[in-house]
């Protein structure tokens, strides 16, 4: 690790950021199940799609996969940033939110 640290420029020449607000995107998961005859279904594979990339999307759609967008989110915090990744379910759409959305149409 010392070699990698030595190869870095001095702190005053690094790309730093004072960003403190969270970086948020919305993701929808998709599981594919396999059910051998007579056996319970099990997850065979899964993937996810970004449903809202917020400020981290790009016009070039092939670079809007989850990994690409997460890399841009991380970069927004700059060098020497200690980050925390939290994955949680999005808040459900409530009747109040749903009726407000319909009124704005």
pLDDT of residue 68: 95
Enclosing H/E stretch for 49: strand 42-52
What is the reported pLDDT for 105?
Answer: 46
Cα–Cα dist 13/72, whole Å: 20
| Confidence band for 101, pLDDT divided at 50, 70 and 90 | low
pLDDT the model gives residue 30: 96
Question: Is the C-alpha dihedral spanning 62, 63, 65, 67 positive or negative?
Answer: positive
Backbone φ and ψ for 44, nearest 5 degrees, come out as -90, -35
pLDDT in tens, 46-99: 999 999 999 999 999 899 999 999 999 999 999 999 999 999 999 887 765 555
């Amino acid at each position: 690790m010392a070699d990698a640290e030595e190869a870095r420029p001095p702190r005053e020449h690094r790309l730093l950021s004072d960003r403190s607000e969270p970086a948020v995107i919305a993701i929808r998961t998709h599981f594919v199940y396999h059910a051998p005859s007579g056996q319970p279904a099990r997850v065979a594979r899964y993937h996810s799609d970004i449903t809202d990339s917020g400020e981290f999307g790009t016009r070039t759609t092939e670079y809007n996969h989850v990994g690409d967008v997460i890399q841009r989110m991380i970069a927004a915090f700059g060098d020497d940033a200690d980050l925390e990744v939290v994955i949680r379910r999005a808040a459900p759409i409530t009747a109040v939110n749903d009726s407000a959305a319909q009124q704005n149409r």
